[in-house]
Amino acid sequence: MSFVARHLLPTVLVGVAVVLLAGFFVFARPQYRSAHQGEQIKVPPEHPATAGWTWAEGTPGFKAGTMLGKHHDFNISGLQPVEIAAAQLAAAHAMLDADGVRVLESLRTDQTGPVAILAAPPLDVTPTQTCLAIMLRGSAAVTWRCPHDLLGAHVLGAVVAAGFSSGAGHPLFVLGVASADVARVVLVGGPQGSGPIYTRGTTWGQFESSTPPQKNVTLLVYGDHGLLQKLTLSDPPGGQRIFD
């Protein structure tokens, strides 16, 4: 997960640097450095969905607050457990395993709270399925969607206006997760114009990137045999919205 994108952005200059780097860290899955100089943190193996919205290894993601590293000082989830309490309650109401909620991706753009992609398994369902939810900033309600709710959807995610302004407006962040039929996701309107922000490989299918201030960006979602979907994501009223 993007280390820098999860931290508060105290200045515009730092914010712009984070915007340019956020997509790289998510896509490249590097070894991370902890607060202890020179220590490398290796992220556990991740695998994309194998069919539709099904992951062979079970529920993908990390428990909120999961600490990695020799000194257990790097929070790979980017969230504290208390921050997913509302999502866990919504999961319980939807007959999902609230204790099984995992974080696929997260970011912070201001002090109104994180944005995150969450996963959870249903209670007493065999074989295990994976349900997903987008947790937006603030007190926005969390709605869980299981595979039957996502039929025909290739990606699920959110577009979020940054909590800081460069003077020309608020940069946009895009984060999401891809189903098994997605081979590649291209962002049109990113820092370098157009480029891939997800390629099927060594992640659970999550992706994150950012753009300079603008009114809209486009996601091109490709399968193995061509374009599956074209999504135009406009600057969201209120600063955030879910897309699929």
pLDDT single digits (tens) 184-198: 999 997 666 789 999
Whether residue 222 contacts residue 182, with contact meaning beta carbons closer than 8 Å, is answered with: yes
* CA distance linking residue 175 with residue 164, whole number of Å: 18
Identity (one letter) of the amino acid at 44? P
What does the pLDDT read at residue 159? 92
Answer yes or no: is pLDDT of 33 > 50. Answer: no
Q: What is the mean pLDDT of residues 56-76?
A: 84
| Strand residue runs (E) in 97-225 | 102-107, 115-120, 131-135, 144-145, 155-161, 172-178, 184-190, 193-199, 206-211, 216-223
Q: List pLDDT tens digits, range 138-192.
A: 989 999 999 999 999 999 999 998 766 666 677 889 999 999 999 999 999 766 6
* CA distance linking residue 182 with residue 174, whole number of Å: 17
What lies within 8 Å, CB to CB, of 80 at 6+ separation is 64, 65
What does the pLDDT read at residue 162? 79
**The whole model's pTM is what?**
0.81
Report which DSSP code applies to 142.
P
